[in-house]
């Protein structure tokens, strides 16, 4: 139904969490999923047929090398999921004065901007050069509810995801005439992934002046559909966006937050 058979789709940060699930969903739908990740060995393949390339999205040469490798190995690239991302909860000012390590500093700022924003730029530029050879392609950027709504204790992360939404709208305008679609997906609170570690929850709870347990209660009360998102919710949406059935969707950010954000 989706018509993704044999389409070569690269998923950055696909070695764990949401990206891993997206790669598996695409693979089940018949696509040739390719995972690019810091934690991947170029040229390996798993038992589902997912192909792996070593990639650091923050490094332009690494991004170009990985894209070149995939294009040479498979003969083409049809899609890209810019999924690799990090989130370090930090207050602008540690107004409680107890944990200065949870105040936003230049190191945390640069890390989030480099992975979440610059990485999306490097990967998209390299992949679009390939798309232009075949005259088509689809990019799905994994944004966040935080990028739409802002988020207490996550201002820098929110700003990088806001930038991703801006890239999405602008690149859709630039590339629409080349039959390239660019769409963003903004998940809200999801089942646990590698990003939402205990350390992450501890930092986020501190920035909001609540306990880690209260963080969980806070979450479920705030979602109209009454549950966190499942990885499948995101995987299915992303697979649909690569289909020609979504051929008129570009330049927008689709929230997938159980009704929490518009």
If binding is defined by CB under 6 A, does position 132 make contact with ligand NAD? no
| Stretch touching ligand NAD by CB under 6 A, among 77-85, 172-180, 209-217, 237-245 | 77-85
Cβ atoms of 190 and 234 within 8 Å: the answer is yes
Q: Is 50 helix (H, G, I), strand (E, B) or coil?
A: coil
If binding is defined by CB under 6 A, does position 190 make contact with ligand NAD? yes
What are the residue ranges of helices labelled H in 75-115? 106-113
Catalytic residue among 102, 157, 206, 240: 157
Cβ neighbors of 213 (< 8 A, separation 6 or more) are: none
One character per residue 15-54, x = contact with ligand NAD (rule: CB under 6 A): xxxxx-----------------xxx---------------
CA atoms within 13 A of residue 122's CA, in its CB half-sphere: 24
Rounded Cα gap, residues 215 and 201, in angstroms: 8
Interface residue with ligand NAD among 32, 58, 151, 250 (CB under 6 A) is: 58
Minimum CB separation of residue 97 from ligand NAD in Å reads: 29
| Residue 51 is a catalytic residue | no
User: Which whole-number Å values give the CA distances from 29 to 141, 177, 196, in the listed order?
Assistant: 19, 28, 28
By CB under 6 A, what part of segment 102-121 binds ligand NAD?
Answer: 115, 119
Burial of 60 from C-beta contacts in 10 A (0-12 / 13-18 / 19+): middle
C-beta of 6 vs 63, nearer to ligand NAD: 63
Residues near ligand NAD (CB under 6 A): 12-13, 15-19, 37-39, 55-58, 83-87, 115, 119, 142, 144, 187, 189-190, 193-196
Active site residues: 157
């Amino acid at each position: 139904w989706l018509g993704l058979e044999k389409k070569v789709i690269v998923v950055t940060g696909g070695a764990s969490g949401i990206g891993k699930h997206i790669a598996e969903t695409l693979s089940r739908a018949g696509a040739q999923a390719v995972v690019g990740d810091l934690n991947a060995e170029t040229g390996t393949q798993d038992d589902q047929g997912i192909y792996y390339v070593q990639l650091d999205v923050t490094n332009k040469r690494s991004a170009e090398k990985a894209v070149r490798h995939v294009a040479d190995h498979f003969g083409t690239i049809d899609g890209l999921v810019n999924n690799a991302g990090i989130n370090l909860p930090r207050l602008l000012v540690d107004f409680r004065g107890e944990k200065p390590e949870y105040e936003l500093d230049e190191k945390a700022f640069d890390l989030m901007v480099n992975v979440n924003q610059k990485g999306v730029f490097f990967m998209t530029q390299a992949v679009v050069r390939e798309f232009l050879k075949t005259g088509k392609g689809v990019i799905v950027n994994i944004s966040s509810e935080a990028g739409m709504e802002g988020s207490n204790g996550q201002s820098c992360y929110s700003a990088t995801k806001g930038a991703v939404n801006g890239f999405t709208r602008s690149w859709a305008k630039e590339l629409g005439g080349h039959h390239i679609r660019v769409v963003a997906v903004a998940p809200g609170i999801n089942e646990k992934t590698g990003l939402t570690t205990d350390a992450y929850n501890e930092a986020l709870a501190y920035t909001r002046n609540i306990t880690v347990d209260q963080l969980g209660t806070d979450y479920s009360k705030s979602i109209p559909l009454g549950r966190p998102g499942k990885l499948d919710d995101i995987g299915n949406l992303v697979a649909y966006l690569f289909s020609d059935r979504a051929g008129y969707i570009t330049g927008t950010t689709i929230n997938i937050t159980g009704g929490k954000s518009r």
